[in-house]
Amino acid sequence: MPLTIRACRMDECAQVLELWKSAEAIPRPTDTLPDLQRMVREHPDTLLVGEEDGRLIGTVIAGWDGWRGGIYRLAVLPECRRRGVAQALVAEAERRLVARGARRLNAMVARDEVQARAFWDAAPGWGRDARWQRYTKDIEG
């Protein structure tokens, strides 16, 4: 079956959380069912899923703040890697963000995620920007 990339549906949020665990995505405070459901409800085109033969095999978040696009939570099940799924998810995220008006895109990649860094290092048009340091603050709920 071919890969289909589409917006996540509300009833799939729990599956997305399980996919992230299986893909060994670094857990974040927002990895909760209510947080994902809110994203899908309030920003329905933000969380994209890759589906193959009725099974979710990958995700990407294509965030848009009205100024620039952000790509987060690119995750593919381990048994589905090295088949172009991540490339297809990123291409669709880029396409959607550019259609919304994005002229600059950022991708968040953990420094210790060797496979993720290798993916982004090889991604056409993407490059590391050593000029910036990211600061974060987690709000406990």
- Whether 42 maps to a domain, the answer reads yes
| Residues 45-57 pLDDT 10s | 999 999 999 999 9
Q: Is residue 129 part of a domain?
A: no
Mean pLDDT of the chain: 92
Domain at 109, CATH number:
3.40.630.30
Q: Considering only CA atoms, give the Rg of the chain.
A: 15
Q: Would residue 140 count as lying in a domain?
A: no
Cβ atoms within 10 Å of 76's Cβ, excluding its own: 25
pLDDT bucket at 134, cuts 50 / 70 / 90: confident
The pLDDT score that the predictor gives to residue 15 is 98
According to DSSP, the residues that pair with 47 across neighbouring strands are 61
Please tell me the predicted confidence (pLDDT) of residue 1.
66
Taking residues 107-134, what's their average pLDDT?
87
Q: What are phi and psi of 16, to 5 degrees?
A: -65, -45
Residue found under tokens 């927002």: 30
Please tell me what DSSP assigns to residue 28: -
In angstroms, rounded to a whole number, what is the distance separating the alpha carbons of residues 38 and 33?
Answer: 9
**DSSP states along 107-122:** E---TT-HHHHHHHHH
Whether 139 is in a domain gets the answer: no
Per the structure, the count of domains in the chain is: 1
- Only one residue has tokens 């590391």, namely 128
Tell me whether residue 22 is in a domain.
yes
Domain span at residue 31 reads 4-122
**pLDDT tens digits along 66-99:** 989 999 999 999 999 999 999 999 999 999 999 9
